[in-house]
Chains A and B, each alone.
Chain A
């Protein structure tokens, strides 16, 4: 059952019960009923109360006979008083206190004796030390314990060996030493072990053989270079490590990994690293940012569904090895590589099941769109920051000009398309109007204007439209008829739009969330936020970039409040006037010599 199911009488009751403080008061005295409440209903009601911020410590008491699961993740107000009530929950099975910053050692004392508790999450409760962990050790039935990024030490970790029922242990971000890890050998039921950022070395990693059921292992950001042979392992994360071997030793029983996260790893000899690994079952491989130049190991990974090679050395000559295992690929990320159109040509025809393809920041050009059009299952395409212009010349004499985005019309399942920071101009946009299935479209370019926005009005299923940094005028926005499905319209960086026009557009389309600097500016001023805001950095200022930079160095001229975007401060006429001014001549002299338009308050 879904907790807040819109339909269904149960969902409506939960909704009605948690409408406001008064409704809570109406039922909180019905103790007999509350005690009889089935656990899944009590859990759902409590979840809703937490989300609505209607829960307070003494209200917890009415749930102590019924609730089995509580998730208070990130609620920084949860303190010892809350814990006093939570400690009395008789049937509590799972307690999530991750990111509850107010929880300290003495608050944790109140969990002692919660014999029904099986799962406890204390991740990032930064006040918890070894002394606090001793209280947790009294819960002998504990099966899942997350204590990553607390102030535990290696000595504290050694104490965990008494929790012999543990199946999942997350001790990431804690300086676990080899010695501490070897004291955990007795936890033979462990299936999931998170040790990222620890001080484990190869000696410590050898101990991992002692966990016969271990299926998930995270050793990211450690100095481990060699792993012993772990036959039960299915998921391994060794990002940011230097890898010599994933399955050391000469025995034939090999690891049967299915998911491998290796972003940013350094691998000297790939064949050696994968030598004993059974890769037939591999479905997920993330090697982004890796420096390897040899992708022969891919050959056997016929079952691969997710492959991330972004920021790697992948190039047109190496792509063939990806194409060979492309038949089951669903997700392929080749962004930030040296790939060009030729590489895409090799891929086409070999990746019939590909649903998501990212080629952003690569050297592909318009011809690549022809090949992308031959990948029939595509749902998401990211072509941002490429050389795509939207048209190409065909024939020997370059006489016939065709609009290359038409090639995407064959992709009947296409839902999301990213063309940000490409060279597509107004004239080339119109083929996009025929991509009827499109849900999300991302455009960001100073070549686009009103014409493009109007051409996109025919996309009747659009939910998200990014039209950033474009030369969109006030009248252009007012004449735009958005499709009824549209929920988000991102106009950041459309510097010609004025505040009143944007807000009147918002008023006439209340169901659309419009993003624009002028809206952010209103919020900023409301919050009396002085000085430069973080938005400032993200704003693209293609036209007035240099001038804007200089203007923002003269804050003393505008004593009332800081503008998020200097350009929104002036009207269009003033801006045009500004363009003609010799800026360098007046800036060094401070506010007194500012031209009249700039002294406007």
Chain B
């Protein structure tokens, strides 16, 4: 996979998730960061840091990005959300406009 096609998402604890750019674009917030003109650091490096989002939540968010792509292409599967993380995940999703 070429580096241009991937994005690095960094959690509050510093964990790095390298995912497809296409998947990350599911989030309107990330899409705006990566595509906005004016040369944000994020645009150039392909790296986004989320100091507010913990590692397990960011992992779940990444899973959702991929699930969402599958769903859009016709795969009808459930996206399971554990009740314990609903609130945190809700806030992260709200921030990411997902």
Residue positions of A touching B, CB distance < 8 A: 1, 8-10, 12-14, 16-17, 19, 22-24, 26-27, 30, 33-34, 36-38, 40-41, 45
Min CB distance, B57 to chain A, in Å? 11
Taking a contact as CB atoms under 8 Å apart, the answer to whether A13 and B93 are in contact is yes
Q: What's the Cα separation between A486 and B93 when bound, in Å?
A: 36
Residues of B within 8 Å of A23, CB to CB, are 83, 86
In the complex with contacts A9-B61, A9-B89, A33-B88, A41-B83 CB distance below 8 A: no
In the complex with contacts A9-B61, A9-B98, A27-B86 CB distance below 8 A: yes
Q: What's the Cα separation between A26 and B88 when bound, in Å?
A: 13
Which one of B64, B68, B81, B82 has the highest number of Cβ atoms from chain A below 10 Å of its Cβ?
B81
Q: 6 A–B contact pairs at CB < 8 A?
A: A9-B89, A9-B96, A13-B93, A26-B84, A37-B90, A38-B94
Min CB distance, A37 to chain B, in Å? 7
Which one of B64, B83, B93 has the highest number of Cβ atoms from chain A below 10 Å of its Cβ?
B83
Q: DSSP class of B's interface residues: helix, strand, loop or mixed?
A: helix
B45 contacts chain A at the CB level, 8 A cutoff: no
Taking a contact as CB atoms under 8 Å apart, the answer to whether B94 and A41 are in contact is yes
Candidates A8, A22, A33; contact of B98 at CB < 8 Å: A8
Residue positions of B touching A, CB distance < 8 A: 61, 64, 68, 79, 81-84, 86-91, 93-94, 96, 98
Residues of A within 8 Å of B61, CB to CB, are 9
A-B contact count (CB 8 A): 62
Residues of B within 8 Å of A27, CB to CB, are 83-84, 86-87
Q: What's the Cα separation between A206 and B91 when bound, in Å?
A: 53
Candidates B68, B91, B96, B98; contact of A41 at CB < 8 Å: B91
Known contacts A13-B89, A17-B86, A26-B82; 18 additional CB pairs below 8 A are: A8-B93, A9-B61, A9-B89, A9-B90, A9-B93, A10-B90, A10-B93, A13-B81, A13-B93, A14-B86, A16-B83, A17-B90, A22-B83, A26-B84, A27-B83, A27-B84, A38-B91, A38-B94
Taking a contact as CB atoms under 8 Å apart, the answer to whether A41 and B90 are in contact is yes
Taking a contact as CB atoms under 8 Å apart, the answer to whether B93 and A26 are in contact is no
Residues of B within 8 Å of A1, CB to CB, are 94
Per CB-CB distance, the 5 closest pairs between chain A and chain B, nearest first, are: A9-B93, A26-B83, A23-B83, A13-B90, A17-B86
Q: What's the Cα separation between A41 and B94 when bound, in Å?
A: 8
Q: What's the Cα separation between A8 and B98 when bound, in Å?
A: 5
Q: What's the Cα separation between A30 and B57 when bound, in Å?
A: 15
Residues of A within 8 Å of B93, CB to CB, are 8-10, 13
Across the two chains, which residue of chain B brings its CB closest to A44?
B90
Residues of B within 8 Å of A22, CB to CB, are 83
Q: What's the Cα separation between A34 and B86 when bound, in Å?
A: 11
Taking a contact as CB atoms under 8 Å apart, the answer to whether B86 and A9 are in contact is no
Residues of A within 8 Å of B98, CB to CB, are 8-10
Q: What's the Cα separation between A30 and B48 when bound, in Å?
A: 27
In the complex with contacts A8-B93, A10-B98, A19-B83 CB distance below 8 A: yes
Min CB distance, A67 to chain B, in Å? 14
In the complex with contacts A8-B98, A9-B98, A14-B90 CB distance below 8 A: yes
Residues of B within 8 Å of A37, CB to CB, are 87, 90-91
